Amino acid sequence: MTEQEIFDKVKDIVVEQLDVDADKVKMDSDIKEDLEADSLDVFEIMNELEDELDIKLEADEGVKTIKDVVDYVKKEVDAK
């Protein structure tokens, strides 16, 4: 998967889970500050990514921005 494909996937899930406009979700968006997610929202985003991409993610991996999520997912997908 390319970084763009992963970003699109993350964006879809974030839009669905957080009920935010798609154009608000950018690589440098801070998940908690800019997108107003709390810890359970992050759980749910990680859970959805795990299910859809068949990977295992730790919630406390220190992800802060969308880019952090994309990088972390890319690393796990590439390692599969």
Q: How far is the CB of 8 from other proteins (least distance, A)?
A: 22
Residues in CB range of 57: below 8 A, 6 or more apart: 46, 49, 50, 72, 73, 76
- Selected catalytic residue, list 23, 28, 34, 38: 38
Q: Which stretch binds other proteins (CB under 8 A): 6-14, 25-33, 37-45, 67-75?
A: 37-45
Q: For residue 17, what is the enclosing H or E element?
A: helix 3-18
**78 part of the active site:** no
Question: Residue 23 or residue 60: which is nearer to other proteins going by CB?
Answer: 60
Q: Could you say whether residue 44 binds other proteins (CB under 8 A)?
A: yes
59 touches other proteins (CB under 8 A): yes
